[in-house]
Amino acid sequence: MVSSAHAISSGLAKDGGLFVPRDFPPVALAEIDAMKGKPYGDRAVQILSRYLTDFSEEELRECVSAAYSKEKFGGFAAPLHLLKKDTDILELWHGPTSAFKDMALQILPHFLTRAVRKTGEQKKSVILVATSGDTGKAAMAGFSDVPDTEVIVFYPHGGVSDAQRLQMTTQRGNNVHAVAVEGNFDDAQTGVKLLFGKAELAAELKEQGCAFSSANSINWGRLVPQIVYYFSAYADAVEKGRIQNGTEIVFSVPTGNFGDILAGYYAKLMGLPVKKFICASNSNNVLTDFINTGTYDRNREFHRTISPSMDILVSSNLERLLYEKTEHNSEKINEWMDALQEKGAYSIGRDIQDAVVSDFFGAWIDEIETQETISDVFNNYGYVLDPHSAVAYKALQKYRLMTSDETYGIVLSTASPFKFSDVVLRALYPDDYEGKVLTAFEAMDELSQKARIDIPQGLKELRGLPERESDIVAPGEMEKEVKKILAID
């Protein structure tokens, strides 16, 4: 067992395993009721203090006020947008980078700098990040010019949207770096994991007073802030009269690395009344198959989709779910993870699968359905969804159709539609743009004018910012690149 400060500062356990909470502190319905009408920061302190027990309440308050300030989120950090009687939208993209990663990555630097002080482990944290698009920018923005940190982001070359790339390559801060990897997200993520495991490299870093840490959702410090908004959204649904406190609801979550949805499951283990989590995927439907068959099989074609932040075939947080579902059988999990590495597949057996299915429903949505959903929701409710959120919205509809369960549901909306303006614009007005090529900014302007919604400040500001050229490296060259950036040997 380790302290929360140690888990946050190191990111990954020494043996390459992931940190998990020893137990799940219960939150009573009365406490959820007490969240009604409270600022997001108060709700966050209430939940965070249950886990970060080596942080004082005052420290947590400082972290929370710095992270979820009005300047950064423009108001309440995670508002529930009321769509219709049985479905609301939890908007998680009001932060500086317009994607839900801000919910965790705005607060992680504050946790991390305090954690390092507490553990006295090293002078400088070198934060390695693999990104499918949104984590990279959010980490760079969160850590920009934070003393004693160096952030190195690896993103798939050609595998992110124009807006996502621009967000990274225009980010200011001498301590933040974006590097393009020839390959897809899984290649970048595997490369980062390998770097974490290199004892020799760790020793070299240590000599310089540095140590690796992670800003990916493998870091416990990134998961725990995500538990907060499930409670917060539930309290809002009670407050708005959608449900009575204590009623079980469903959450539909657009899923890639299984971090966001896992945080929801942790909230359920703490007592949040949830009937099901809809695990929504795009055509990279490895999780849908896993939930439906009990076999995880990454041996399949990788698809580049219009919801690129979910283009993932190896969901790193699934390990944490299995830890709970096997009643902490680490041996079994190691066996499965070895099989995943060696054969690309493993099967969990009927009993464990049943346990997974009792909490999760898997559904996947193809490209055409995603576009149709963006268009349908806009035409029916005047609300613009980004492609990821559209996948989750449609998956909830599929769940209702297949199970006849009409329970009230909350759809997690993980990105502003303006991060994917081109895709959204063409989904809404297919005939107007056939054959036309638009720059990222032209698409934003058109979307803003036609759908009558405002471009988020952070994206507007990208225009005219100087772009820094990224290095492009093969997966095998990532170590060399890290050393170059850190000026080691």
Ligand X SMILES: *Cc1c(COP(=O)(O)O)cnc(C)c1O
Given phi > 0 = left and psi -120 to 50 = alpha, else beta, which region is 74? left
| Coil/strand/helix, residue 254 | strand
Q: What is the dihedral of CA 293, 295, 298, 301, to 10 degrees?
A: -30
DSSP code per residue over 131-171: -SSHHHHHHHHHHTT-TTEEEEEEEETT-S-HHHHHHHHT-
CA pair distance 462, 287, nearest whole angstrom: 35
Given phi > 0 = left and psi -120 to 50 = alpha, else beta, which region is 158? left
| Bridge-based pairing state of the strands 360-364 and 345-347 | unpaired
Residue pair 417/384 in contact by the 8 Å Cβ criterion: yes
Q: Which is nearer to ligand X, 211 or 223 (CB)?
A: 223
Q: Which is nearer to ligand X, 163 or 415 (CB)?
A: 415
Window 370-409: residues binding ligand X (CB under 6 A): 388
Window 128-157: residues binding ligand X (CB under 6 A): 134
User: How buried is residue 245: exposed, middle or buried, by Cβ count under 10 Å (0-12/13-18/19+)?
Assistant: middle
Binding letters toward ligand X, positions 292-321, x by CB under 6 A? -----------------xx-----------
Q: What is the CA radius of gyration of the chain?
A: 21
For 124, the token pair is 């400088």
101 is catalytic: yes
The interface region with ligand X, picked from 249-257, 294-302, 431-439, 480-488 by CB under 6 A, is 249-257
**Could you say whether residue 41 binds ligand X (CB under 6 A)?**
no
Instruction: Name which position in 21, 256, 264, 362 contacts ligand X (CB under 6 A).
Output: 256
**Could you say whether residue 170 binds ligand X (CB under 6 A)?**
no
Instruction: Name which position in 169, 252, 414, 416 contacts ligand X (CB under 6 A).
Output: 414
Q: Which is nearer to ligand X, 5 or 192 (CB)?
A: 192
For 167, the token pair is 């967000």
Instruction: Name which position in 96, 191, 225, 259 contacts ligand X (CB under 6 A).
Output: 259
**Could you say whether residue 125 binds ligand X (CB under 6 A)?**
no
Angle, nearest 10°, between helix axes 185-197 and 478-486?
60
**Count of residues engaged in binding ligand X, rule: CB under 6 A:** 17
Residues 6+ apart with CB under 8 A from 385: 89, 373, 374, 377, 378, 393, 413, 417, 424
Q: How far is the CB of 395 from ligand X (least distance, A)?
A: 12
Q: How far is the CB of 434 from ligand X (least distance, A)?
A: 26
Q: How far is the CB of 263 from ligand X (least distance, A)?
A: 8
Q: How far is the CB of 259 from ligand X (least distance, A)?
A: 3
Q: How far is the CB of 147 from ligand X (least distance, A)?
A: 27
Q: Which among 14, 72, 84, 101 is annotated as catalytic? A: 101
Instruction: Name which position in 87, 97, 213, 255 contacts ligand X (CB under 6 A).
Output: 255
Instruction: Name which position in 6, 94, 101, 193 contacts ligand X (CB under 6 A).
Output: 101
The interface region with ligand X, picked from 32-40, 57-65, 176-184, 250-258 by CB under 6 A, is 250-258
**Could you say whether residue 260 binds ligand X (CB under 6 A)?**
yes
> Catalytic residues, which ones?
101
Q: Which residues bind ligand X (CB under 6 A)?
A: 99-101, 134, 217, 254-260, 309-310, 388, 414-415
